[in-house]
Structure 1
Amino acid sequence: MEKQLNVLLIEDNLIEIMKMKRTISLLELNHNISVANNGEEALKILEDKSNFPDLILLDLNMPKISGIEFLSILKKNDDIKHIPTVILTTSDNQKDLEECYRLGVSGYILKPLKYDDYVKKIEKVLSYWSINELKKY
Structure 2
Amino acid sequence: MATQSTILLVEDNPDDERLAVRALRRAKITAEILIARNGEEALTTLFNANCLPIVMLLDLKLPKIDGLDVLKAVRANEKTRLLPVVILTSSSEERDIIASYDLGANSYVRKPIEFDRFTEAVGQLAIYWTGINEPINPER
Shared fold (TM-score, shorter chain, > 0.5): yes
Residue 111 (structure 2) pairs with residue 120 (structure 1): no
Instruction: Select the structure with the greater relative contact order (CA < 8 A; seq sep ≥ 6).
Output: 2
2:66 alignment counterpart: 66
Residue 129 of structure 1 deviates from its aligned partner by 1.1
Counterpart AA for 1:132:
N
Mapping for residues 21-100 of structure 1, pairs under 5 Å: 21-100=21-100
Tell which deviates more after alignment, 47-56 or 61-70: 47-56
Q: Does the aligned pair in 1 maintain the 2:8–2:35 contact within 8 Å?
A: yes
Query: How many Å separate the matches in 2 of 1:67 and 1:41?
Result: 11
Residue 5 of structure 1 deviates from its aligned partner by 3.3
Residue 49 of structure 1 deviates from its aligned partner by 4.1
Structure 1: stretches of 5+ with no match in the other structure: none
Query: How many Å separate the matches in 1 of 2:48 and 2:90?
Result: 30
Query: How many Å separate the matches in 2 of 1:72 and 1:27?
Result: 30
Query: How many Å separate the matches in 2 of 1:133 and 1:26?
Result: 22
What percentage of residue pairs aligned between the two structures are identical? 34
Query: How many Å separate the matches in 2 of 1:121 and 1:15?
Result: 16
Residue 31 of structure 1 deviates from its aligned partner by 1.8
1:9-32 Cα deviation digits (max 9, x unpaired): 011111111111111222222121
Query: How many Å separate the matches in 2 of 1:25 and 1:38?
Result: 22
Query: How many Å separate the matches in 1 of 2:50 and 2:86?
Result: 22
1:60 is paired with a residue whose SS is: coil
2:135 alignment counterpart: 134
1:65 is paired with a residue whose SS is: coil
Superposition RMSD in Å = 1.3
In the TM superposition, structure 1's runs of 4+ consecutive aligned residues that sit over 4 Å from their partners are none
Total equivalences in the alignment? 134
Counterpart AA for 2:96:
D
Length-normalised TM-score, structure 1: 0.92
2:95 is paired with a residue whose SS is: helix
Query: How many Å separate the matches in 2 of 1:47 and 1:24?
Result: 24
Query: How many Å separate the matches in 2 of 1:94 and 1:13?
Result: 22
Tell which deviates more after alignment, 23-32 or 68-77: 23-32
